[in-house]
Each structure stands twice: as C-alpha cells, then as structure tokens.
Amino acid sequence: MIKLKYQLATIATAALAANAYAQPVVPDDTQAGNQCPAPSGSTAGAQCPQPTQPAQPLQQPQQQQPTTYQPPPPPAEPTYVEPERPWWDHQFAISVGGGVDDFARSNAKAATNIGGSWNARLTMGVHSYVAGELSYIGSAQTMKMFGSSQTLYGNGAQGAVRLNLLPDLAVTPFAYGGAAWRYYSTSGGAFGNSHDDKLEVPLGGGIAAYVADMTFDVRGEYRIAPNSENVSGNGVEALSGNFDRWGVTGNVGAVF
C-alpha cells in the first residue's frame, strides 16, 4: 500500500513538471518595468531576466584624408580715392576781361578819347597772401588831333605781385604792383602810321570773389610811364608829353 502511494506521488510530480515546461511565460515588452508572471512551483515571485543587448561591433576610426595646402588669397589692394579739395585749396586761375582806360595827363589825354581795354591773365596763388600775375594787355582809342580818324592801339605784357588781404575767404580785397611793356601803334588816317614802345609801372587794387570753380574780380589802376617820348613814325608827331594811364577793368575766369 505504501509503495502504491509513493508511485502515485512520483507520477503527479512528473506531470506538474511536464506542464510547467510545456507552457513557459513570455514577458510583455510593451509595459516597461512589468514583472513576469510568477511560474508555478518554487520559482513564484521571481523577476523576469533582463534581455541582454547584443554586443556592438567595434567601430574602426575613420582615417582623415590628407588636405591639400591652399595658400591664403593675397590681400586686396586698397583703392585710393583722391579727396575732394576744398575751394580754398585751388591756387591757380585763368581769367579774361576788359574795361575802359585813357591817358591821365598832358597832351596825350587831350589828343585822344577814352578807349577800351582787354586782358588775359594767369594768377598763381589766388588763396595765398602773396600771389603772382602774368597778363597780356591791350587797348584801343581814337585820336582827335588834326581832325583825323586814326586809332591808337596798345599791346603788351605785364607781370605783377599781388597781395591778398583775406586769402582764406571767398571774397578778398587785394593790391598789386609790377612792370609792363606796351607797344603803341596807330592805323588809318591821312598822316600814315606811327609806333613806339613804352615801359609802364602798374599800381592798383581791387576785390576778388570765388564761387565754386569760378573767379570774378574788379580793379582800378594807375600806370606810370617813366619815359615821355613821342609815338613816332613817318615824320608825323602823333602824340607828345606824359603817357601815364588810368583804367578800370573786370575779369571772369576759372580756378583749378
């Protein structure tokens, strides 16, 4: 009887073991942290074993490709821009103009009418205290002696030193003095042509104005003639006495 009970217990134990082996518990991966259902028998309450991660293959370090040396680009050459000069930095001027003039004294004044004058002038140092002037001078006036219709012409050259009183301003008064040579000649009339050379010492003053690249000036002058020889030619005494002159002129030009 005892042997029979022992055999039944062995069979029951074997059946339980086979049943547990046939129905393994599969863990639910969708619920993080859930425990596996406890299996029957002595394994009740055991935690599910954590799945092992497959070993990652070792990554080979990447070999850096050798780089080709690229020289830096040359620095760009700076572009020079000439600064615009202010108007007071322009020191040269070319101008032309004209006015009226006549002899100042003696028989020469009585023998001629008031005439016209013209000039072309180069000024150096228009915005300096001391400037220089080179000019061409010309004049023409009718003669009234002997009832003739002769015209007395004068052409020459002049150099002068000019003193600007306010050179840094757009308007400046000035004074000047220098030396000039004038060639007188007569034309027309029944008494033939006459000619002569005269030395003159011009002295004068005026006002100059500068607007942008333009210049304007007006001046009055007295011209001393040291020698008082006649204008001669063909035996006709055309003029005699002192050849001093006065004149008033205006000029317009450009500065650069």
What is the pTM (predicted TM-score) of this model?
A: 0.63
Q: How high is the pLDDT of residue 107?
A: 77
Q: How high is the pLDDT of residue 93?
A: 96
Q: How high is the pLDDT of residue 232?
A: 54
Domains of the chain are: 93-255 (2.40.160.20)
Q: How high is the pLDDT of residue 35?
A: 53
Residue 97's nearest CA partner among 255, 216, 244, 245 is 216
Residue 211's nearest CA partner among 254, 247, 250 is 254
Run of H or E residues at 178: strand 171-187
Residue 178 · residue 205 · CB < 8 Å: no
Secondary structure (3-state) at 64:
coil
Residue 161's nearest CA partner among 137, 133, 126 is 133
Q: What is the pLDDT along the chain (256 residues), one digit of tens a residue?
A: 556 666 666 776 666 666 655 555 555 555 444 555 555 554 545 555 666 666 666 666 666 677 777 888 888 888 877 777 665 567 899 999 999 999 998 778 888 899 999 999 999 999 999 999 999 999 999 887 656 678 889 999 999 999 999 998 999 999 999 999 999 888 765 555 677 889 999 999 999 999 988 999 999 999 999 876 666 544 335 566 788 999 999 999 999 8
Q: How high is the pLDDT of residue 236?
A: 39
Could you tell me which residues come within 8 angstroms of residue 160 by beta carbon, excluding any fewer than 6 positions away?
Answer: 132, 133, 135, 176, 177, 178, 179, 202
Query: How many other CB atoms are there within 10 angstroms of residue 162's CB atom?
Result: 24
